[in-house]
Amino acid sequence: MTIISGWPALTVALSNRASPARLFIQERFGRWQDLQARYRESVGSLVVPGSQANPGTIGSAFDWMVRFMVHPSPDLRLALLGARTPPLWHAVHELARTLNYSQTGDSVGTCRFSGPAAGSEADHQLLARACWALALLTDLYRVGPTPGSPLMALAPRSINAEKLLELAPPAALDELQTLRAFAERSLLPSLSARHGAWALGPTFAGSSLMNADADLIAAGLLLELKTGLGSKRRDGTRRSSLEAPTIMQLLGYVLLDFADEFAIEAVGVYNARYAHLTTWRLPELLAELAGRPVDLWEERVAFHQLLATGG
């Protein structure tokens, strides 16, 4: 995929208050205070506290975990993009075979399928270890080599699937298993009711202009997975909030689906540490955030023009 020079990835653009992409979304759909207040009231208590494991890697690993929970062989493209050396590339393919993938060519696994589907039958502990390794490789692709990454300590000639599976610390494995247990009760039942076209890590028509890939689309539901601990109250307890960047991120994905390829009819957020799923029907959400009826086609055309002309 060719990205036009000058546009950062969607999440990076939205973190910049002066970005034309952020200003476009904020000016058109910035009435989110009531939505945020209702969200805060609906979320219960923190059920999965943090640990000594890297929280960023936990988030990436949980994303992979959910993919394996809804399909036996999700696409490993992001991890392979991070596997920039032949030993790492071969180790990922070996890891796929360990997880009973039947396809280990240049394209490994499935991105789109008719769902719901059965998840991976791999041993849960093995799968948690694999998701941690895939998360490290995904982070290597997204942000590049970082000091302290366990991948950097591997001797190139000794890298294989077994070495990748040994990278996960015990605290991370315990945390991932707990997150999985809650997701099986609070997320999967809602997803399993959605029949139709599913996509894992989908990219959009607009991703050729601004790099963006979402977490999951399940038969018209665009879902964002979060593992944030939330902010602290005065008494030291945590609470989950619907942050403005998350709202803008969901809207950005919707706008980048220029031709309505995924027929997105609803968006949602699953906060794994609170075992809380919230979804909103898209037409009503857009109207509330805009303070007026919204023609989504017109908004997509305008956003496309903004990106195509460089803002």
Tens place of pLDDT per residue across the chain (311 aa): 444 457 999 999 999 999 999 999 999 999 999 999 999 999 999 999 999 999 999 999 999 999 999 999 999 999 999 998 899 999 999 999 999 998 655 668 999 999 999 999 999 999 999 999 999 999 999 888 887 889 988 888 889 999 999 999 999 999 999 999 999 999 999 999 999 999 999 999 999 999 999 999 999 999 999 999 999 989 989 999 999 999 999 999 999 999 999 999 999 999 999 999 999 999 999 999 999 999 999 999 999 999 999 87
Report how far residue 130's alpha carbon sits from residue 32's, in angstroms, rounded to the nearest whole number.
38
Record the pTM: 0.94
Domain spans in the chain, listed from the N-terminal domain onward: 1-49+180-311, 54-168
**Chain centroid to CA 154:** 27
Task: Determine the Cα angle at 250 with ends 248 and 252, to 5°.
Answer: 65
Decide: residue 153, CB within 10 A, 0-12 exposed, 13-18 middle, 19+ buried.
Answer: exposed
Among 50, 54, 53, which Cα is nearest to 230's? 50
Decide: residue 243, CB within 10 A, 0-12 exposed, 13-18 middle, 19+ buried.
Answer: middle
Residue the block writes with tokens 């392979």? 80
Phi and psi at 253, nearest 5°, equal: -60, -45
Which amino acid is it at 290?
Answer: A
